[in-house]
Amino acid sequence: DLLPEQIRSIDSIVSAGFFPASYWSLLDQVARYYQTSLMQVVRVALPPGLLARSQRRIRLIKPDASEASLNSAAQQILKLLKSSKTKDYSWQFVQRQVKGANRGLQDLLKLNWVESYLEPPATIRPQLRQAVILVSTQGELSDGSATQSSVRQREILEVLKRNGGEMWLTDLLQHCRTTSPTVKRLQEQGCVLLQGREVLRSEHAPDVEQDAAKVLTHHQAEVLKKIHTVTAFEKILLHGVTGSGKTEVYLQAIAPMLQRGQSALVLVPEIGLTPQLTDRFRARFGDRVCVYHSALSDGERFDTWRQMLTGSPQVVIGTRSAVFAPLPNLGLIVLDEEHDSSFKQDQPAPCYHARSVAQWRAELENCPLILGSATPSLETWLDSQSSTYLSLPKRILDRPLPKIDIVDMRKELHDRNPSIFSRSLQAQLKKLKENNQKGLLFIHRRGHSTFVSCRSCGYVMECPNCDVSLSYHHVHETAQPILRCHYCNYTQLQPQRCPSCSSSYFKNFGSGTQRVVQEIAKLFPELKTIRFDSDTTRAKGAHRALLSQFAHGDADLLVGTQMLTKGIDLPQVTLVGIISADGLLNLADFRASERAFQTLVQVAGRAGRGTEPGRVILQTYAPEHPVIQAVQRQQYEPFVATELEQRAALNYPPYGRLVLLRLSGLNEQTVRSTAELLADQLLHSEDEVLGPAPATIAKINQRYRWQILLKLTSDRIPNVMELRSQCPSTVSLTIDVDPMNL
Ligand code: ADP
Ligand code: ZN
Ligand code: ZN
């Protein structure tokens, strides 16, 4: 339960206007369900920087209060505040001056004699801009004197009048070639008023052309009709194959909502997905659309937050944490690509899933929640048997789904083709240019592809801090390649020889994006490629720039990782090459098959969305794998039926529930013994305790990681918060309810 201190801080957040008071019950529900403190939830909900850098201050609100009946700390605080000109001090200052200040403050707060509030840091305070407002032209115009300054002043008033009686000061000064003292004099004479107006800092987005609602296909119209009938909370699964026009349905579901004065929240998996999607929304709804994600600056996030609080009807498009967008008057929540695991936060606590939080929110606001996907998660699929199920079984305009060819890479090697591109992929690449079409090449990021190993002794270069292999990066043709750890960013030059056996047959044999780009340059010099991965999209606006360069420029191929699978809608793309599906098939997780199926179907779904049909070449060393077979058939239901049977047999989600306890610390022995201690205690519960065991990655950034997995026998989630008190201060414990990454 809450500490008084927590309640007070949250009170201050409310009174500082950072979020509406009604929003508490949502935050409280998140804290209870995910077993973290309310403050931790507040921290993920609020724009970053706001809480950490806000200053807590206290202010006297009953100036005639008498100190007589108070305890000594409260007396001193009161005296201190009275001595201040503004009756206001920073809490830090008060704490330094008064012994036992905390208790004193509690008493004063109870009496309602002082208030405690948060002041945001200067960097994210509202940005003000001076506006000049015309009040009266009378005095000046009747004066009629012809001194230089009064001519100038008359001119200023004329210009203001022509501009509707109001201008930004900077614009006015520039227009009239004058200085601000002149304008100030006009203010003294009562002719104009200077006023600071808040301007919103927002992500600069290029203009888009207005776009009218499309004439819906029969299937889309049926789905929309059903959605329009829902006015209270209801969970709706919109299951539509790739390119079936789900986004158009969202747009037309939202339009009447804005007209009624309500707002809508659209959640998407990753920032990489947002430029194309936000453009489509802005083309329809103009500046009533705002985006909210972690790539915005603190100032932009703060301003967007305030814009949302105004309650004017708007559409917020955002990633995971936007589920906490403080929109009063919410009419609809859409969670697009609902199966995507980036909706789940692994670290730090609260380890929340935006899909669950969205559901609680929709329940509280009593509005519908649409979960959209071509490949719904098994959780949502099973759940849809008791909620509303809508489907778009066909691509729009009856365009066919792409044809998927499976290529056995073992055969390729056997037939003396050592290239990372199979013969049939090469044949398709050759045709690309002459047909004036474009292609995508997909590489699974953490496939066993980018590591550096010795072909003589098998030695693999690993990170000294983390239990993972280092990835190969080619910075420049002439420079020596570097090796980097994707977890802690440890970097070193690649050794020329094997550190273990000195063999010179020691290099990168993988196929990361860079390697693929290089191979294309060698084999198909006429093809222009663009790399699209976490390295090339790091800069602000890079996603948008690269995608636009690909769509409108002369590039033929986009070579990328997971980012390619999400929401890219480019009609010129006819070819999708999956370089190797095997890394995906071999993840050590009970959801591996589900994820592999989803990723492969999604990436294949990028092909043939325009008038030309699509073609997918899927390369693998395991063509007989059931997931590969299911992907080739592109049939969701049979795949899910088999997968659900297996989950049920082992009591895994979506049947049995899981809770994961993650422990980490610098001392391996302490972490391990703490894990053993906690596991022992849990044995007394009726739930199944798995572990303790080292985490899949047993060490990250010098910290050793152990975990305990609880397989629950009922829907009742045990309270494991209490175990926290048994952890030494050097071991941190994170509770992950419904974990996604084991
Ligand atoms: P999904 O989100 O299901 O993958 P999209 O909404 O991106 O599908 O639609 C795929 C393409 O079809 C987009 O380019 C979109 O503009 C177009 N589209 C959608 N609905 C219609 C329609 N009713 N008529 C014509 N084109 C449409
Ligand atoms: Zn070696
Ligand atoms: Zn590392």
Ligand nearest to the CA of 469: 3
Mean pLDDT calculated for residue range 185-201: 84
Mean pLDDT is lowest, of 478-482, 521-525, 572-576, 719-723, for 478-482
Single pTM value for the model: 0.81
The whole-number pLDDT of residue 237 equals 97
Q: Which of 633, 608, 576 is nearest to 399 (CA)?
A: 608
The whole-number pLDDT of residue 447 equals 36
501 is annotated as contributing to ligand binding: yes
Instruction: Tell me the pLDDT band of 141, cut-offs 50, 70 and 90.
Output: low
Which residues form the pocket of ligand 1, taking CB atoms under 6 Å from any ligand atom?
214-217, 220, 240, 242-248, 396, 569, 609
Query: 389-421 pLDDT, tens per residue?
Result: 999 999 888 888 899 999 998 788 778 887 889
Pocket test for ligand 1, best of 335, 337, 569, 570 (most atoms within 8 A of CB): 569
The protein residue whose alpha carbon is closest to atom 12 in ligand 1 is: 245
The whole-number pLDDT of residue 587 equals 65
The whole-number pLDDT of residue 272 equals 63
The whole-number pLDDT of residue 622 equals 83
Q: Measured between alpha carbons, how far is residue 730 from residues 36, 664, 724 in Å?
A: 19, 9, 12
Q: Who wins on pLDDT, 618 or 202?
A: 618
The protein residue whose alpha carbon is closest to atom 15 in ligand 1 is: 245
Cα(592) to centroid(ligand 3), Å: 24
Q: Report whether 462 contacts 469 (CB < 8 A).
A: yes
The whole-number pLDDT of residue 471 equals 76
Q: Is the pLDDT of residue 448 over 50?
A: no
Ligand nearest to the CA of 284: 1
CB-based burial label for 18 (10 Å; 0-12, 13-18, 19+):
buried
Cα(458) to centroid(ligand 3), Å: 20
Q: What is the tally of helices (H) and strands (E) in the chain?
A: 26, 28
Q: Is the pLDDT of residue 640 over 60?
A: yes
Mean pLDDT over the full length of the chain: 86
Q: Tokens standing for 400?
A: 């066919």
Ligand nearest to the CA of 462: 3
Query: Three-state secondary structure along 488-520?
Result: CCCEEECCCCCCCCCCCCEEECCCCHHHHHHHH
Cα(358) to centroid(ligand 1), Å: 25
Instruction: Tell me the pLDDT band of 450, cut-offs 50, 70 and 90.
Output: low
The whole-number pLDDT of residue 18 equals 76
Q: Which of 208, 224, 342 is nearest to 276 (CA)?
A: 208
The whole-number pLDDT of residue 585 equals 75
Q: Report whether 595 contacts 378 (CB < 8 A).
A: no
b/e sequence 53-75, b meaning 16+ C-beta within 10 Å: ebebbbebeeeebeeeebeebbb
- Helix 513-523 × helix 423-434 angle, to 10°: 70
**Ligand 1 closest atom vs CA 220:** 23
Q: Is the pLDDT of residue 203 over 90?
A: no
Query: 10-51 pLDDT, tens per residue?
Result: 666 766 677 777 788 899 999 999 999 888 898 889 887 777
Mean pLDDT calculated for residue range 655-665: 93
Cα(464) to centroid(ligand 3), Å: 7
Q: Which of 180, 105, 184, 192 is nearest to 140 (CA)?
A: 192
Mean pLDDT is lowest, of 34-38, 276-280, 379-383, for 276-280
Mean pLDDT is lowest, of 160-169, 540-549, 673-682, for 540-549
Q: What is the ipTM of this complex?
A: 0.95
Pocket test for ligand 1, best of 219, 247, 338 (most atoms within 8 A of CB): 247
The protein residue whose alpha carbon is closest to atom 5 in ligand 1 is: 245
Instruction: Tell me the pLDDT band of 124, cut-offs 50, 70 and 90.
Output: low
**Ligand 1 closest atom vs CA 567:** 4
Mean pLDDT calculated for residue range 418-440: 91
Cα(508) to centroid(ligand 2), Å: 13
485 is annotated as contributing to ligand binding: yes
To the nearest whole percent, how much of the chain has pLDDT over 90? 40
Cα(498) to centroid(ligand 2), Å: 5
